Structure 1
Amino acid sequence: MSNYKKLVLAQRPQDGKIGAHLFAQKEQPIPTPGDGEILIKQTYMSLDPAMLGWMSDDRESYIPPVEIGEVMRSSGVGEVVESNHPDFKVGDKVMGMTGWQEYLISDGQGFNKLQAGVSEEMALCVFALPGLTATTGLYNFGKPKEGETLVVTGAAGSVGSIVGQLAKADGLHVVGVVGSDAKADWIVNELGFDGAINYKKDDLAAKLEELTPDKVDVFFENTGGPIQQHIFNRMNAHGRIVVCGMIADYQAEKPSPGPNWIPLIKKRIAIRGFAMPDHWDEIPKILEKLTPYVQQGKIKYRAHTVTGLENAVTGLNMLFEGKNTGKMLLKL
């Protein structure tokens, strides 16, 4: 019987640092599905900034941490290679929570079949967490209106790029914050953003003022960092701030100080933090909202893929170092 590999969490990260020492590789015989079960061979796995939080022993977070000795948590896509389940047949491509492993057994709960014409990359780049998160945050809490101005940080990332494209499709003026000129060029010339700010080289206050002549109505926050307060100070009355991620602070010894709350009162600004696990039951409605934009060609994406389970840590670190040029995926 052939073996398969999986990576389990061996210890908690210290000081937010991710390394191979945090994981242990296990090899086990490929299992056989029982009654009502399927055997899935994973083909692509998603790598996400939230994984650092999942590794940490934070019992007050929106989702329980991965326990020591458990397979590291992740979403992914794979192919059904054996089935004893009436709703799944051999050859079906499915998406769900797979973990850092080459094979897994499932009773089918939480797994959905990929629609015809949807590749593994598209599924994970658009219809998995990135698209679900972007759509939920933008429409449930950002409440964009045609003619308004939206600024999104991490604009070349998997969530931020979709947020900006949805907003553009709805007639908003969209400015993205990125970390390189190449990323700025991509969001403006490929995705259609109205402007881009390179936080590593631009005069943040001056560039933001130039690109947001009518100030800012919706601020979709994915990163934190120095530009946060500049955007906050440009908010219009009754503006909405959607806090989705703070990757700039996840590995910091001390988080950056937040903005002064006095303008919050003066301008009656609404700030909402959110996480997708609160909205799992809304996924059919979320996809109903997102899918037409994709079908109409209004959502473009790109993937940055590393190969081999042994490179999962390398790929994850690329996210925190800003070295990825698209949705970070691992091909198995």
Structure 2
Amino acid sequence: MSEYKEIKLVKRPVKGQIDASLFSTEQKQVPMPGEGEILIRQTHMSLDPAMLGWMSEDRESYIPPVELGEVMRSSGVGEVIKSNHPDFSEGDKVMGMTGWREYLVSDGKGFNKLQPGISEEMALCVFALPGLTATTGLYKFGKPEAGETLIVTGAAGSVGSIVGQLAKADGLRVIGVVGSDEKADWIVNELGFDGAINYKTDNLKAQLDALTPNRIDVFFENTGGPVQQLIVNRMNEHGRIVVCGMIADYQSDTPSPGPNWIPLIKKRISIQGFAMPDHWGEIPQLLEKLTPYVQQGKIKYRAHIIEGLENAQSGLNMLFDGKNTGKMIVKL
């Protein structure tokens, strides 16, 4: 019988650093599914910033950490190779929590079939965590209204790019904060954002003021960093701040100080942090909301593909170094 690879977490990150010593690669025999089970061959695996939190010894987070000795957690897309389950057939493409491994056996819970015409890349870039997170945060907590101004950090990332496009389709003025001129060009000229700020350039306040003549109503926060306080100070009364991620601080010994709270009082600004595990039960409604935008061609995406499960760790580091140019996906 043939073998497959799986990668387990064997050490916790120190000071947020991700290196090969944290993982152990094992060769195993491909298992056979039992009654009511399916055998899945994973073909595409998602890499996400949240993985650093999952590796860490944080028992108070929104999801328990990956235990040492367990297969590293991830979502992915695969093909059903053998089925003893009435709801799945051999050849079905399915998406769910797969882990860092080439094969897995499942009872089918948590796995959904890809609809015809949906590629593996589109599934992971749009209909998996990125699109679900963007839709939840924007509409449940951002409450956008046509004519308002929205700013999103990490705007070229998998979540931020969808947030901006949804808001633009709904008639908002949309500004994105990114980490390179290439990413700025992409979100403006390809995705249709009204403007972009490269946070690595000078005169951030002047750029922000020029791009937000009517100030800011909705702030979708993915990154943290120095631009955060400038954005908060630029917000309108009754503005909404949606806190989805703080990637700038995930590997920092000392997190950046937050904005002064006086503007929050003066302007009666609301702040809401959120995480998708609280909203798994809402996925059918979220997809119902998101799908028409995709069908109408209003959501574009790009994937950054790396080849081979053995390169997952280096690909994950690319996310924190800002070297990715799209949703990070490992093609197995």
Please indicate, yes or no, whether the TM-score normalized by the shorter chain is above 0.5.
yes
Q: Give distance in 1, aligned partners of 2:303 and 2:126.
A: 10
Per-residue CA deviation, residues 76-132 of structure 1 (Å, 9 max, x unaligned), is: 000000000000000000000000000000000000000000000000000000000
- TM-score, scaled relative to structure 1: 1.00
Partner of residue 133, structure 2: 133
C-alpha displacement at 1:263, in angstroms? 1.0
Asked if 1:23 is matched to 2:23, the reply is yes
Deviation at 1:203, TM superposition (A): 1.4
Partner of residue 120, structure 2: 120
Q: What code does the residue aligned with 2:131 have? A: G
Q: Secondary structure at the match of 1:242?
A: strand
Matched ranges for 1:234-273 at <5 A? 234-273=234-273
Spell out the pairing of 1:72-151 with structure 2 (5 A cutoff).
Answer: 72-151=72-151
Q: Aligned-pair distance for 1:202?
A: 3.6
Amino acid at match of 1:321: D
- Counterparts of 1:280-319 in structure 2, within 5 Å, are 280-319=280-319
Measure, in 1, the Cα distance between the counterparts of 2:108 and 2:261: 47
Measured in 2, the distance between the counterparts of 1:133 and 1:19 equals 27
SS at match of 2:162: helix
1:242 is displaced (CA, Å) by 0.1
Moved over 6 A (4+): none
Q: Deviations over 1:256-315 (max 9, x none)?
A: 000111111110000000000000000000000000000000000000010101100010
State the number of aligned residues.
332
The amino acid that maps onto 2:318 is M
Q: Equivalents in 1 of 2:309, 2:169: separation in Å?
A: 37
Per-residue CA deviations over 1:134-167 (Å, capped at 9, x if unaligned) read: 0000000000000000000000000000000000
Aligned mates of 2:204, 2:41 — CA distance in 1: 46
Q: Distance in 2 between matches of 1:238 and 1:48?
A: 32
**CA–CA distance in structure 1, aligned partners of residues 262 and 60 of structure 2:** 28
3-state SS, counterpart of residue 219 of structure 1: strand
CA distance in 2, matches of 1:204, 1:274: 27
Where does structure 2 lack aligned partners over 5 or more consecutive residues?
none
| Partner residue, 1:206 | 206
Give the AA of the match of 1:220.
F
List alignment gaps of at least 5 residues for structure 1: none
What's 1:193 paired with?
193
AA partner of residue 282 (structure 2): E
C-alpha separation in 2, matches of 1:184 and 1:263: 29
For 1:19-47, what per-residue CA distance to the aligned partner results, in whole angstroms no more than 9, with x for missing partners? Answer: 01100001110000000000000000000
The residue identity in structure 2 corresponding to 1:127 is F
- In structure 2, C-alpha distance between the alignment counterparts of 1:309 and 1:87, rounded to whole Å: 29
Amino acid at match of 1:166: L
1:6 equivalent to 2:3? Answer no
Q: Which amino acid aligns with 1:85?
A: H
Measure how far apart 1:318 and its partner are: 0.2
Distance 2:234 2:263 in 1: 10
| Aligned residue number for residue 51 of structure 1 | 51
Secondary structure of the residue that 2:39 maps to in structure 1? strand
- Aligned-CA RMSD value: 0.4
In the TM superposition, residue 194 of structure 1 has moved relative to its aligned partner by 0.1
Query: Structure 2: which amino acid aligns with 1:64?
Result: P
